Amino acid sequence: MRMAALSGASGIPVATIKFYLREGLLHAGERTSPNQSQYDTTHVHRLRLIRALTEVGGLSIMAAGELLATIDNPELPMHQVFGIAQGAVRLPISQISAQDLADGSELLDKVISDRGWQVADSLVARADATRVVGTMRALGLEHSHRMLDSYARAAEIVAKADMDSVQAVTGRDAKVETVVAGTVLGDVLLAALRRIAQADYSSAMFGEATAGPPGAALPPAN
């Protein structure tokens, strides 16, 4: 198909597609004349992936571009693809005090050991989790090992599902794309489902008590 048809098929304006081509996020079409190229379904699919990463996943164009470069490098071992996908979605965490860090580290190490997770001390996500747990503890939010343990159990279920969906597709490119898009979109999906489940518990727990007869749960407030 020509550029105009690619724009129609993907719903993305021609100028935006040209920008993606220039920036290397989208592979070039097959040149049929000095001013024209032919595009195919691989271009439509890649455009969908770019939009998923930037519009649904919230990545910048630059971050999406770096991430997509991993898909195009067949030399990269699969176990490194996860690291790169994880690195593209940096969690918004900065420094905390040494004491909070030490407390967080102690709590997190226990959870990791309880779950039998074999992960390197140098894993970025481990440092991120340590800072969040330390901050929660400093705020008095972490009232028992139980909460952290529940989160870890949930994370394990999700990571298992992530791995299963990587296993379910065939071919290296499809596996890598599943890792990349799944890492970015999975965070958002999980956060949204958490809110839905909270709304269910919240209306049952607080809706009735504050504003209605028993059995008549209020809909949540947003």
125 contacts 86 by C-beta, under 8 angstroms: yes
In the complex, minimum distance from the CB of residue 24 to a copy of itself, in angstroms, rounded to a whole number: 20
In the complex, minimum distance from the CB of residue 29 to a copy of itself, in angstroms, rounded to a whole number: 21
Sorted by sequence, the CB contacts under 8 Å of residue 143 that are 6+ apart come out as none
User: Residue 18, Cα to own-chain centre: how many angstroms?
Assistant: 27
In the complex, minimum distance from the CB of residue 38 to a copy of itself, in angstroms, rounded to a whole number: 23
Q: Which is nearer to a copy of itself, 31 or 201 (CB)?
A: 201
State the Rg of the chain over Cα: 22
CA 113/CA 58 separation, integer angstroms: 33
In the complex, minimum distance from the CB of residue 30 to a copy of itself, in angstroms, rounded to a whole number: 24
CA 110/CA 145 separation, integer angstroms: 9
Element (H, E) at 32: strand 30-33
Q: Which is nearer to a copy of itself, 3 or 89 (CB)?
A: 89
In the complex, minimum distance from the CB of residue 27 to a copy of itself, in angstroms, rounded to a whole number: 17
128 contacts 93 by C-beta, under 8 angstroms: yes
Q: Which is nearer to a copy of itself, 38 or 105 (CB)?
A: 105
Query: What does each C-alpha distance from 195 to 198, 201, 203 come to in angstroms?
Result: 5, 10, 12
Q: Which is nearer to a copy of itself, 103 or 142 (CB)?
A: 142
Burial class (CB in 10 A: 0-12, 13-18, 19+), 193: exposed
Q: Which is nearer to a copy of itself, 16 or 207 (CB)?
A: 207
Q: Which is nearer to a copy of itself, 30 or 121 (CB)?
A: 121
In the complex, minimum distance from the CB of residue 203 to a copy of itself, in angstroms, rounded to a whole number: 6
